[in-house]
Structure 1
Amino acid sequence: MADEKSEAALPIRPKQPKQQLTKGMEHMRKYVVVPEKTSSSPAEKDDYGVPSAIEPIRKATSDAASNPQNRTDPFQFGTRYLEQDSDIFAHNAWDHVEVDAQYAEFIEQQTIFQRDNQVSDFDKTRFNDKPEKWWDKFYSNNNANFFKDRKWLVQEFSILGEVTSEGYGKCTVLEVGAGAGNTAFPLLAMNRNEELKVHACDYSAKAIDVIRAQDAYTAQSEPAVLKADVWDAAGEVLPPGLEAGSVDLVLMIFIFSALSPEQWMRAVSNIFTLLKPGGEVLLRDYGRGDLAQVRFKKGRYLEENFYVRGDGTRVYFFEEQELREIWSGELSRTDDPEDESQDTPTDTPKFEIVNLAVDRRMLVNRQRKLKMYRCWMQGRFRKPV
């Protein structure tokens, strides 16, 4: 009874608010949590990673009172600029936001830590030997409902809206690294072009099984618009049903990063062979310093900017100039012509760089008061006529 009285007499300690982070991001807490604004905050202090002496990149379309969210009409990615007087939580994403000085220092420290705590030689062999088996395991554990359809495709790549429009005419689209079909199925749903053909390929047989099992795939009337097959982009053969010079557009959405650097040239050569003269590659992938790279802890570093995730799948993080050299044919993996460890074609394909840029965004979570810096690469490459 005495114990019950003493417990009752203890003051109730109020719960302290704490932003919830996953275990994998806890080491980043002070770099991703947005501090509460206070009236005593010094005026010269950077707020939310935005310098106090910021030069506005774009004027708001109207005064702040009538347009608190800085909306433009119609909405487009690349038009939401975080200015000094912006409400950081007005949107869930802001465009072209450079990381603040504190976060940049953290990236540098984290990179050194990752290099000093690499994957063991045994595990490097295990993860690099047959990478497709790790993707098979991934898709065996995650069904199609696990993934989000990429509804932003046409906003990012307007040409996809053109080729799927009624009356456009014959067009063959190849998606490399189709996964569970989260690009292929949105294209199928929006298509009004009776002469469109979409080939979705992945080197994971399990991923292709996921696509073929979907109702939208099995319900297609003949001739089918969408066809799914297993294909290794860095292999020695072309995809089933496709010949050299038969493809108009190649989609590579977060797939090039899954290849090891030694596979890049073979993959680029295969794509070059498949495309018609004037055909194009649409690429979106991870950029250097992205949150996905910075959050890696010990035992994930395979080689410079190349990591293995907890599920065994691999990922590379690119620089803009690096991608420019790869696709323009300027990159050489070695200066030794007798080095047979690389699967590099004799004739290096040379694409025209139509467009290549870094897409930097700051994503925010209003409820949890978090900011997350993302960095993606987006490019459009054309096979010369």
Structure 2
Amino acid sequence: MTRETASSQTSIANVAALANVSTATVSRVLSGQRSKDDDIAQRVRQAADQLNYSANFAASSLRSDVTRTIGLVLPQISEEETPTVLLNSLSAAIRAANRYLLLAVGTDAQEQSKDLHSFLARGVDGLIIISDSSADSLIDSLNQAHKDLPIVQIGGKSLTPHISWVGTDESEAMRMTVDHLAEQGAHAIAYLSREIETYTAADLFTTFYTQAKALDLTPDPDWVQFGPCTMERGYQAALSLFQGRRIVPDAVVCASDAVALGVLIACRHINLRVPEDVKIIGYGDSPACELAQPALTSIHPVYEDMANEAVRIICERTTGKPRLPSYRAFKPELIYRESTWSPRTGSSDMTLPGAVDY
């Protein structure tokens, strides 16, 4: 018997009887309106699976104000700006909440604004915004839309205090980075930042300079460079840092893993040993980090936690709880690999690479 046929012959009352709960409880559990994952919820789901019962959410949405859909608006997909792992985490979190994802990818601010209004017209239960430098044009629309539904922004500069924000504590990430390099014996640190016109880049530069100065690692002005987060940029920047110079850095902090990989390739071409001559650390913890030779140390944003929090906020507010905006910055992890790891001479610290909590 197919699931569709079984569903037509099995009622919500059958599921309720098997789970020994009320039909209202069955409805709340299967619709995601009951957030507690306790014995009752497990019994309901097991009963529904046993009876091949599948609620018709599309039809039920016509009878209520809940459409069970969450809209996701994001800029043109780029691995550096919108990592695949974040999209996968969001998809999994939305599915776990018994919601459905509506995705819109806008190539510019005008398209993103149209996508936002299209989702509003469809009556989505909530919106998730992944912003880029062009998202300021959405502020007016977001300030109006938040009155009707919950909106969560992931990452970037908080566009408006009227919507919730979830992201990485970037300042903490930079402090962890500089502290780690100092602990590994670095004395002179370079910083290859992303373009300075972004809010995040400016904030990170300030944190980098402050932390480096506090640890007596103040860099040469020529060692702090701004540019795109590409491998080619990292390669060319490394050549400018190390070729034909008498004084050179012994560590390089990179704004992305792509930049760090470019630095790593350049060091190999000019016969600099990593990590003995120069230590390299990236940002994003992309899959390429483990494949590099040597493997690349990187900051790992906790994408799964951010995705779960964004979906939790939306689901909580669609069940009638207050829609006060919230702000949650997650501390990232430092994934410690061979590009910065070397046993220190005369030290008993032989800790193997792995995750480090500062």
Q: TM-score range by the shorter chain?
A: 0.3 to 0.5
TM-score normalised by the chain length of structure 2:
0.35
TM-score normalised by the chain length of structure 1:
0.33
Structure with the larger RCO, 1 or 2 (CA within 8 Å, 6+ apart): 1
Larger helix proportion of the pair:
2
